[in-house]
Amino acid sequence: QSIHAPDNLKPLLEKILQQALSVNEGKVADYIPALAEVNPEYCALTVATLDGNVTSVGDTTTPFSIQSISKIFGLMLAMERLGDPLWDRVQMEPSGQPFNSIVQLEWEKGIPRNPMINAGAILVSDVLVSHYSASKSALLSMVRSLCGSDNVCVDSRVHESEREHGSRNSALAYLMKSFGNIESDVEEVLDHYFWQCALTMTTEDLARSLAFLANRGVCPRTGAQITSHRDAQRVNALLSTSGMYDQSGQFAFTVGLPAKSGVGGGIIAIVPDYGVICAWSPPLNAFGNSARSMFMIRELANKLGLSVY
């Protein structure tokens, strides 16, 4: 595999960012005012390699709402706390449905298809609320120490409006409760879920924070074993099959990297044994994935030959 040295990377990232700016597909998420007001012109691309180099172009120091990318952090904590019994309560199958779909959840008796769709992440939030005395601070301190930055915080306006406009997520949670798959108080579980969706980070912080998934579970910055090699592989497998919702197949076909998107417009892609790519631009396609972020990651992966397949 020939991967460009970081020295050659910046001009390539610049070129891809310029091309991405002419991608005019998509629409900024508007289900909450705090996201609808974000400037659609923001565009950023970061590559963090395992040797500690971070190469960035565009708006890479502007924090944005990471939304569903937070599902990875929640899952890491739940896997650590619960171990294999977690997989009795959430499956590991692609859903083939939109991220907030409710239909399968009834067919499958309250067991979500995977932890990367909303139902699965709400189930994971239940595990955190039930097994941590302070689930929010456990999550926040994990994320801060992973990226080595205290700038990671929660946008309280986004958190509030997630709650106000969260009927669909409430329905998912109460349906799971009716099947006995939620242990804690549903409102507390939802509050944790809405809170984690409201985490704000820059592309640089996000890329750094997920480097352990490209490094067999070890944080390259501190040398700490965040998770086992096996669990890092398992999370990457889930990201490959479900991280881009029902566009995951197309993403695997055209890019070939484990990845996760959020409705804030961010996408992270894991390049095993190399590093992490993080792209951000708010306008979303019909699947809820950022059109420009997908374009940038696809171009970069194809130019550098990064597909894992």
Tell me the binding residues for substrate.
68, 118, 162, 169, 193, 245, 263
Establish whether 71 is a catalytic residue: yes
Establish whether 263 is a catalytic residue: yes
CB 68, min distance to ligand GLN, A: 3
CA dist 133 and 26 (Å) reads 41
Four-point Cα dihedral 297, 302, 303, 307, nearest 10: 90
CA-nearest of 57, 64, 61 to 18 is 57
Beta carbon nearer to ligand GLN, 50 or 235: 235
Beta carbon nearer to ligand GLN, 221 or 260: 260
| DSSP alpha helix (H) spans, the chain | 6-21, 33-36, 70-82, 86-89, 103-107, 118-131, 135-147, 156-164, 167-178, 186-197, 203-209, 211-214, 229-242, 248-254, 291-304
Catalytic residue among 65, 71, 242, 290: 71
Residue numbers belonging to the annotated binding site = 68, 118, 162, 169, 193, 245, 263
| Residue tagged 């709650």 (tokens) | 163
Beta carbon nearer to ligand GLN, 251 or 274: 251
In the numeric block, which tokens belong to residue 279? 């792209």
In the numeric block, which tokens belong to residue 298? 């696809």
Catalytic residue among 143, 154, 189, 263: 263
Establish whether 68 is a catalytic residue: yes
| Residue tagged 């904590």 (tokens) | 77
Q: Could you list the residues that contact ligand GLN (CB under 6 A)?
A: 67-68, 99-100, 118, 162, 169, 197, 262-263, 288
Catalytic residue among 28, 193, 290, 293: 193
CA dist 95 and 169 (Å) reads 16
Catalytic residue among 127, 209, 245, 255: 245
Beta carbon nearer to ligand GLN, 100 or 149: 100
Residue sitting closest to ligand GLN (CB): 68
CB 197, min distance to ligand GLN, A: 4
Positions marked active-site = 68, 71, 193, 245, 263
